[in-house]
Structure 1
Amino acid sequence: MGNPSQPLHTRLTELLRCDYPIIQAGMGGPGRSELCAAVSAAGAFGCLGMVKEKPEMIRTEIAAVRARTERPFGVNLVPSVTDPILLDEELEACFAAKVKVMVFFWDVRPDIIDRARRAGCTVIYQIGNLADAIAAERAGVDAIICQGFEAGGHIRGKVTSMVLVPQVAAAVSVPVIGSGGFGSGASLVAALALGAEGIHCGTAFLATNESYAHEYHKQRIVDASSEDTVYSDVFAIGWPPQSPVRTIENSVTRLYSDNLSGHGPDDFELDVIAQDGDEAVCRFSTYSPLQNMTGDLEALALYSGQLCGAINRVRPAGDVVREMVNDANHVLARLHLLK
């Protein structure tokens, strides 16, 4: 940890050169340059969610962030679900653009970690269980995002963050970042108490003005209670078999309410229900509704963590950061930890 008189200054803020130990989740699709830049400009750490994106888009988005802010940011990729040729092109685009921080997820890939470190990058890996955390540290990562079961989007493990974070923090020496259910100042303080040195927030930033999520998706998060989220793998097209996600209940999850697990991409017919520009989007795919999409958005993957029950409006990402920090300081003062 950092200076006890400055509890929001941790090894993570030193590592990432940001003011506050708050990382915006990459969120492939919604996590584009406007959101990333807004979060970083507010003093937290923004990430571009560039999962399976073409290198041309990655270069454009990196340049767009830099045009909006001079603050540090990272790029999020998912090596194990990306075609190897495309992954190579993605990495080279990031390295050529001199991206300082790479954030990876899903299977721990020592070869990718080594490659990014040799390119001069700080490497953060998102994991969902203790074994993967230990493997990631052994492979040379600089920090670990510890994702709990209550998180939104693709979920790697089956243990809640309250239980998993302290286990991981006790087992590794690199900074640990809590993920899943975190999105407030109080939860930031709780993460620090559990041994983490920051938090990783997706749902809290998805429902912001700058998010590239469709307004329909944002409003569903605002309207949802925590009990409205569903853990399933019925949104399977585009990822390996049995890759569970947490989404807001919709017509698809209701249809499969008695059969939510055990599915893979080959179990479903390619039924086009929406368009993303010129690209067809199928029912049961891992696509979530984005700003330029048209079609049956209700039936797409409405990613959200259980935190949705605490979100009651869409607002600027910078306001989300500032409220988290102010609330954290108030909580610390109430606990007599901040003079």
Structure 2
Amino acid sequence: MKIALLSYSTKPRGGVVHTLALAEALAAAGQDVTVWTLGRGGDEGFYRPVDPEVRLRIVPFADGPAGESVGERVLRSIDTLREAFTAEGAGAYDIVHAQDCISANAVGRCVRTVHHIDHFTTPELAACHERAIVEPYAHVCVSRTVADELAEGWRLSARVIPNGVAYERFAATDPALRARWAERLGPYVLTVGGIEPRKGSLDLLEAYALLRARHPGVKLVVAGGETLFDYRDYRARWEERAAELAVEPVVLGAVPDDELPALVAAASAFAFPSVKEGFGLAAMEALAAGVPLVVRDLPVLREVFGAAARFADTPERLAVELGDALTAAEPERRAAGRELAARHTWAEAARLHIDLYSALL
């Protein structure tokens, strides 16, 4: 089959990580795969090398005018990708599969993976989100919980195909690189995903201040954060609150792809207090690395992680669970986490996608 997978960015966000890993697994299974995306900020390639068996089409996307709103930028993103795909890709593929609302709006008739369901107040974003759910002719969700949300809210039936995880990449990291992170940071709680409302960053900050009372030598390290949206106000509030609490988290920003597994593996615990998720790929990578995991108590995260994680629904509870994760050896829980992560392979995800595509054709 000739398959087009579409994303909105070249940066290391969860949906982009998913798109590239799925594309490579589909290509390894003998499919003809092209990944389409927007090259923001002059990007001509993705954040990491991509298997040469996967074709890449990165559509240039220039910076907008001063004062461009998020809604305006989203609409311009859709128009730019639509123009390029209509000119070069329309009719060229057996399957067109969009991974986000921008690409789904850009390409029209498509399969759509709904990673999680957002609720926007900006009119342009709300309309984009709605069209990207109701207009595709087939849907995939990465968890049963999100598929149930889709069924309840829109009466749509989605095929559930969980994420894979690059298990060996996180399970067998370079000892020298781990030691380098440990020497630089000391003992640390890690979170990946940046500082934004959906990631529960303010709650984690409050929890860290409480955790420091019991574990004064532990740092909070925040990695990642590439996003289309403007969270400057939220981040300013986060920084103000950190000063009020007299804590100084280490904010790394985007970490080079080849350094990320060792950063994860060297952590004393991994915090994942997101208020909305579809699967939790970064948390699954932490389990692959054998790192104790504490997540927000959400139905979707209960579904995905079960007994392999600790759960918390308030900053106070998060602080307690992180403290216990730092001190309890729990080899059985760590082993269960590794086993869970190892079961989620991209090869299996690709096989299930091929089954779906074949049925649709």
TM-score grouping bracket, smaller chain normalisation: 0.3 to 0.5
TM-score, L = length of structure 1? 0.40
TM-score, L = length of structure 2? 0.38
Report which of the two has the higher share of helix.
Answer: 2
